[in-house]
Amino acid sequence: MEFGMDRPVAVVTGATSGLGRVAVLELARRGYRVSAVARSRSKSEALVADLAAVTDEPVEVFHADLGLLSEARRVGEEIAARHARLDVLVNNAGLHAFAQRVTPEGLAEMTAVNYLGPFVLTRALTAKLGSCAPARIVNVASEASGRARTIAPAEDLRRTDPYNRRESMPLYGRTKLMTIMWTQELARRLDPHKVTVNCCDPGFNATGLGRDLPGSDVLRRVLNTLGIGDPRRGAGIIVRLATDPALDGMSGRYLSVRDARPLRCPEPGRDPRAQAELWEATEALLAERSAG
């Protein structure tokens, strides 16, 4: 089934739960043809069934583990080959791991899922986005980025030291700081008349992000019952960045879930020189791993 040129196309990662699922359903309601990138086949089948209730447009799911850079590259190439057009890419998939896990490619899983995988996927899709200008890239960051006190890109990208639950937050925050830094450096490298790239802090959301935490399912159900951490709020800023005409041409921004208020990239990643250093270290790592 070939995707036509009559409707805009949005690709969303981490689309089967939490913010991604809500964002996908809203984009479909707004007339977008949606392609979801998902790891779980059972969850993706449930998503497709839910989408059938809000759109008659065809929905495709591309299966990939974005914690593996080879998979991120493969699925990016598949999406680029499949679509005649691509208007929006939302890098939403995320992971907060409470203990170190190392991928088969020898990388820290949290760093791979939250930063390196999206970097590789976006690079594979940038040309397609540019050919369908104006297009948008939306990266989901976090206020946890402010927990990262230092960053040394060449070392941090390769770091696989063990850590415990208490130590996990600043490490998670560092991966989200990398997301903001990469967003702002990528914005300097792209023509904003063709492709814009922005990121957001979606606030606190009761999603599956901390699924490794004991009792997380029970806590999430309690929060949902109390109306705390409703993912519709966090998904709202994602959809706004993807679709709002008032944001045409805006690029390199980090926006809050609170009324799209502009935020500054936290230190120590604010300096454009640090952002360029991260970019160069990332490119070097990908060349080394032959995943680029």
Question: Are β-strands 254-256 and 262-263 bridged in parallel, bridged antiparallel, or unpaired?
Answer: antiparallel
- How far apart CA 284 and CA 259 sit, in angstroms, is 38
User: Kindly report the CA angle at 203 between 201 and 205, in degrees rounded to 5?
Assistant: 130
Which of 115, 163, 172, 254 is the catalytic position? 172
Contact 9, 30 (CB under 8 A): no
Residue whose pair of structure tokens reads 């890239």 in the numeric block = 137
Question: What is the maximal distance between C-alpha atoms in the chain?
Answer: 50
Told to judge if 115 belongs to the known catalytic residues of this protein, a careful annotator would answer: no
Query: In 3D, which of 205, 213, 138 has the Cα closest to residue 169?
Result: 213
Contacts of 108 (CB under 8 A, 6+ apart): 100, 101, 102, 159, 160
Amino acid 270 reads: R
The residues annotated with a catalytic role in the active site are 172
